[in-house]
Amino acid sequence: MIIVQTPLRISFFGGGTDFPSFFMDEGGCVLSSAIDKYIFVTVKERFDKKLRIGYTQTEMVDDLDSIHHDLIRESLRLTGIREGIEVTTMGDIPSEGSGLGSSSTVTVGALHALYAYSGEIVSAEQLAREACGIEIDTLKKPIGIQDQYIAAYGGLRFIEFKQDGEVSVKKIKISADSHRTFNDNFLLFFTGVSRKADTVLQEQKNNIKDRMPELREIKQMAYAARTYIESEDFDSFGTLLNQSWELKKRLSSTISNGRINEIYDAARRAGAIGGKVAGAGGGGFLLLYVPYERQRSVRNALSDLQELPFRLESDGTKVIFNYRRSLEIKTRQ
């Protein structure tokens, strides 16, 4: 049995510039971090040749093409495993519509687990690139390419998407104390609104050519946000987060709605400096930048919402249990 733990993520700045239709012309960048909420993928050999896939449903099939879970099906296909295996996914939060990058996290985690099952060690770059290939090239999902990279690499990262297709992933370096202070200024609440990310992202993707000025400004804000973190000017980071959210809402009519605006305005009145809906928008989780001394007031204002405490995560996807390797070591001894 193999168990792989892969982190979900918070995207702070730059969302929308990671669509190939933007960055292949203009170059793009995002500022994101993995968080300590995870998708777990387990892989186990079967005694027969059937394929068993477990998630919110259970599939038991005789051939690869009969698998309905498209991300698992294509991960199996890519890694060359076609029979005699069980793959199960479990998450710390419901994966549908969270805005925390769960679909890409599943893909990265599944690839990592299946490669480990086959005895192959692969790089974070390969896992991210191949996950992008599955989601965008094979399954034609209307998504960008940031989530796959932060799931694979982990940490607080500045990711640049070059016009030639190259992706640069750099760690943002601040002291451990500053990292804790930065983390302590964030609150995360579930809005109670669920949505299909593909619906939101499809409209956003369709609007790219008409929203080039906004996307260029969003890109520059990501560079500015990196500077604010590195100089430990965290409140300015929070102010910029508010400005970026107001700009992002102009990318698509589905990014926000009356209920989300109501929640966000209440948080701002109670002391939040800035914030944004995580991921594509339209629902899921709301991230807020709130100085520590104002957090009780914000929690009181949003007392009808469920809060999700979190910490920023330094690790990316990793194997946390490998019985096959342990068995090999014992056999060799």
At residue 329, the pLDDT reads 41
Model confidence, pTM: 0.94
Angle at which helices 212-230 and 234-248 cross, to 10°: 170
Query: How confident is the model at residue 4, as a pLDDT?
Result: 98
At 156 the pLDDT is 98
Tens of each residue's pLDDT in the chain, 333 residues = 999 999 999 999 999 999 999 999 999 999 999 999 999 999 999 999 999 999 999 999 999 999 999 999 999 999 999 999 999 999 998 766 688 999 999 999 999 999 999 999 999 999 999 999 999 999 999 899 999 999 999 999 999 999 999 999 999 999 999 999 999 999 999 998 776 666 667 877 888 888 899 999 999 999 999 999 999 999 999 999 999 999 999 988 888 888 999 999 999 999 999 999 997 777 889 999 999 999 999 999 999 999 999 999 999 999 999 986 554 544 333
Encode 120-182 in three state secondary structure: CCCCHHHHHHHHHHHHHHHCCCCCCCHHHHHHHHCCEEEEEECCCCCEEEEECCCCHHHHHHH
| Residue 132 confidence (pLDDT) | 97
- Surface-to-core class of residue 136, CB atoms within 10 Å of its CB (0-12 exposed, 13-18 middle, 19+ buried): middle
CATH architecture of 2-323: 2-Layer Sandwich (3.30)
Query: pLDDT at position 327, please?
Result: 47
Q: Would you list the domain boundaries of the chain?
A: 2-323
- pLDDT confidence of residue 118: 95
Which pLDDT score, from 0 to 100, does residue 188 have? Answer: 97
pLDDT of residue 193: 77
